[in-house]
Structure 1
Amino acid sequence: MSIKINFLNPFGTDAYNSLIHETMSPYLTNGAELVVTNTKNCPENIDYYYSKHLIEEAVFESCIEAEKNGFDAVIVGCCYDPGVRVARELVDIPVIGPLEATMQLAPYYGHDYVLVTDHHKAIPYLRDMVRLYGEEAHCLSVNCIDWWVTEMIQDTAGVARDAVSAAAEIRQQVGAEVAILGCTIISASYEKAVREGVYPRDMGILNPNTAALKVAQALAELQAQGSYGISRKAYYQSLKDRNADEFERVRKRFGNRRPNDM
């Protein structure tokens, strides 16, 4: 059984693709294949919510295309988990949000955790995500390292340095056992530094990219074995199942719409 996973960078640029592939590929097992792609013809900066919503339209279409192209799972590569739940309505393959996956795995590493994200604007958004995922009892704090994604790719070593420092300091301040690096590019920067021998592996620092990869592979393998499927009873019920004609009309009119080239 060979699983094919699409890591979809939602940033509208291929600037981050090689970093993601380099730092995730070592964790592939059982012949699984990782293909890193990015959204097209949409904003490159997901930090602001207007751009984020435009990007989510591209995420939906990319997930549909991934399923058509034979992928067994999609990881939407941002800890905002942009468009993940809507995409699950549209496709039958697993769609993974890195933040959700890491929160689900965190109890295997420690009782409670802190989230270390990129910048001040992300803090309230991730606090909302903590509530959405029902993790208030385990997430003790959400803090940032004051980096923006467009700057991170220019200095991954600096990002790793600040992430390691912040994870240690904030865990000590609030008494948390582990830290989640609440940004896929922070996580990739940290992983790169660890693999280069700059820092020893800290088992208390959780990498959402790795967590998402393992959840994606596990669910894809279960689906291939006939032991996983998305319930269409309510929350993830698809319009195409309820009214196929309406779904096709919506898709024809809006589905292939893209924001103007930026």
Structure 2
Amino acid sequence: MGMRIWYQSMTQLATLTNYRKALEEHAKKYCSDGTKIVFNGVSEDNYHGRMPAEVLQYSYAKLILQTEVIDICRAAEKNKFDAVILGSFSEPFLPEIRSLLNIPVISMPECTLLVACSMAEKFALTTLAPANVKRVKALVKRHGLESRVSGYYSLAHPVDEDILNVALKKPKQVVTDFLATAEQAKADGADLIVPAEGVLNLIIGRSNINPIGRLSVLDCVSTSFLYAEMMINMQRRLGIGIGRMGSYAMPPADLLAELDAVTQAKASAKVKTKK
């Protein structure tokens, strides 16, 4: 039986055309026969020309701009997708989305961290800029895996998604900066390093530099593809579902209908105000 997976990026894929193409090529290369991945980006108009790396460091901006992802993922399940991948190290509304869906919801950073634990005693993460390091540290802490991380690093020349979209065609500087963080990670005791951002990951993956000496490089994008396939298979074959006793408790149908009515009323009021 085939699989249909919805991949929700937190970038403007309509604008970042090199990135979208690279994602599609990556899926074709690594996914099993019969697996189809649909890639979806964020609403372009909401960002007013800014890149996510610039905006999502602010908690309020993240709340306002990423709330749409909840409804997008609910729609994916209604449209018979077998799993959803949240393809971002910002990991938007993961508990909320898992509490609303019965299909597997894969967090790219969460599954990458879990796989890294199976591949290395200590691993490191490299992100785009110093401002992102704090967010990645908080993410690792949220998943309770601080003791497995040997270090957090950022590229010497900070970049955003727009710059990386160009670097997919001209990767030299980004690869050089990443290799420098890899050497530091090795010196700090890492067995494995993760390019902790989707576009950065694809640039490194397409540069054929894995491993770096004895240091493994974990491809977080393809890991999320294969992890989603595994979770779909486990749900189909083992009948496992999401635990509903804690943070992923699903609201009863009547309460969910009431909550949907509230959000719809707010949306209608917003439209009337604009008029």
Shared fold (TM-score, shorter chain, > 0.5): yes
Q: CA deviation at 1:256?
A: 8.8
Check conservation: 1:140, 1:176, Cα contact below 8 A. Answer: yes
* SS of equivalent to 1:137: helix
Residue of structure 2 in register with 1:131 after alignment: 141
Higher helix share: 2
Residue of structure 2 in register with 1:4 after alignment: 4
- Choose 216-225 or 109-118, whichever is displaced more: 216-225
Q: 1:39–1:108: structure 2 CA closer, same or farther, 3 Å change rule?
A: same
The answer to whether 1:144 aligns with 2:163 is: no
Between the aligned partners of 1:193 and 1:20, the Cα distance in structure 2 is: 15
Q: 1:27–1:167: structure 2 CA closer, same or farther, 3 Å change rule?
A: farther
Between the aligned partners of 2:229 and 2:99, the Cα distance in structure 1 is: 20
Q: 1:229–1:163: structure 2 CA closer, same or farther, 3 Å change rule?
A: farther
Q: CA deviation at 1:254?
A: 4.7
Q: Which amino acid letter does the alignment assign opposite residue 219 of structure 1?
A: M
Residue of structure 1 in register with 2:46 after alignment: 42
Q: Which amino acid letter does the alignment assign opposite residue 185 of structure 1?
A: V
- Where do 1:1-262 residues align within 5 Å? 1-14=1-14, 15=16, 16-40=19-43, 41-43=45-47, 45-47=51-53, 48=55, 49=58, 50-145=60-155, 146-156=158-168, 157-158=171-172, 160-162=174-176, 164-194=178-208, 199=209, 201-202=211-212, 204-225=216-237, 227-241=239-253, 243-254=255-266
Q: 1:222–1:153: structure 2 CA closer, same or farther, 3 Å change rule?
A: same
Q: CA deviation at 1:250?
A: 2.8
Check conservation: 2:51, 2:160, Cα contact below 8 A. Answer: no
TM-score (norm: length of structure 2): 0.84
Q: Which amino acid letter does the alignment assign opposite residue 86 of structure 2?
A: V
Provide the alpha-carbon RMSD of the alignment. Answer: 2.4
Q: Deviations over 1:166-202 (max 9, x none)?
A: 34212222011100111111111112222xxxx4555
Between the aligned partners of 2:193 and 2:202, the Cα distance in structure 1 is: 15
* SS of equivalent to 2:176: helix
Structure 1 residue ranges, 4+ long, deviating more than 3 angstroms after superposition: 199-203, 254-259
Check conservation: 1:6, 1:73, Cα contact below 8 A. Answer: yes
* SS of equivalent to 2:259: helix
Quote the sequence identity (%).
20
User: How many residues are aligned here?
Assistant: 255
Structure 1: unaligned runs, 5 residues or longer: none
* SS of equivalent to 1:121: helix
Q: Which amino acid letter does the alignment assign opposite residue 37 of structure 1?
A: N
